[in-house]
Amino acid sequence: MYLRQRLEAVAETLRDFSLAAEERYQEGVELATAGHAAAGIYLLGYAAEMWLKVASFRFDGAVGNDLISPRLAPAKNWLKIRAPHMKPENFHSLAFWVSYLFTRRAAAAHRLPTTLSGELLHRVRRIYLIWWIEMRYRPDQALSDEVTRVYRDVTWLREVSPQLHR
């Protein structure tokens, strides 16, 4: 059985996303430090996206073996009512996921601490300005300071991600 068949045979779970986020992070760091700026940024951005999704779904009550796919459309529909300007970008938008997390937490009267909230918003916005899912179709135009910025911001997100769903 080929890799695609093996992967398609099993639905994505929250646990899978957590493991994949760490793998993409490590691969992104390796590529970025080897001089592959766009590839490093691309994988680091994917890791950030997955950590935001995991935090959002865990806050909603999901646990390790819960499936990801059935949670995507309800998240989109829920936020569309409360923040219609937020575009999910085929569920890859970092701005969408941080907004979803903040809005869900606010609706539950369980906001993040102000310092953490401000830092999270600042760093995710910065990553959002550099990382874009569609960058995979473009030649590498990444600048060295952009690689550094994404690396630092995604590393910070990796470190605080367990706090985001509590």
User: 10-residue block means of pLDDT along the chain (166 residues)?
Assistant: 95 96 98 97 98 98 96 97 94 97 97 97 98 96 97 98 95
* pLDDT for 28: 98
DSSP helix/strand/coil, 13? strand
pLDDT of residue 48: 98
> Which two structure tokens, joined as six digits, stand for 7?
């992967």
**What pTM was estimated for this model as a whole?**
0.96
The residue to which tokens 């809005």 are assigned:
103
pLDDT of residue 95: 97
Between CA 112 and CA 120 the distance in angstroms is 10
CA–CA dist 53, 17 (Å, integer): 8
Buried b / exposed e over 58-75, threshold 16 CB at 10 Å, is bbbebeeeeebeebeeeb
Q: Sign of the CA dihedral 126, 89, 44, 112? A: positive
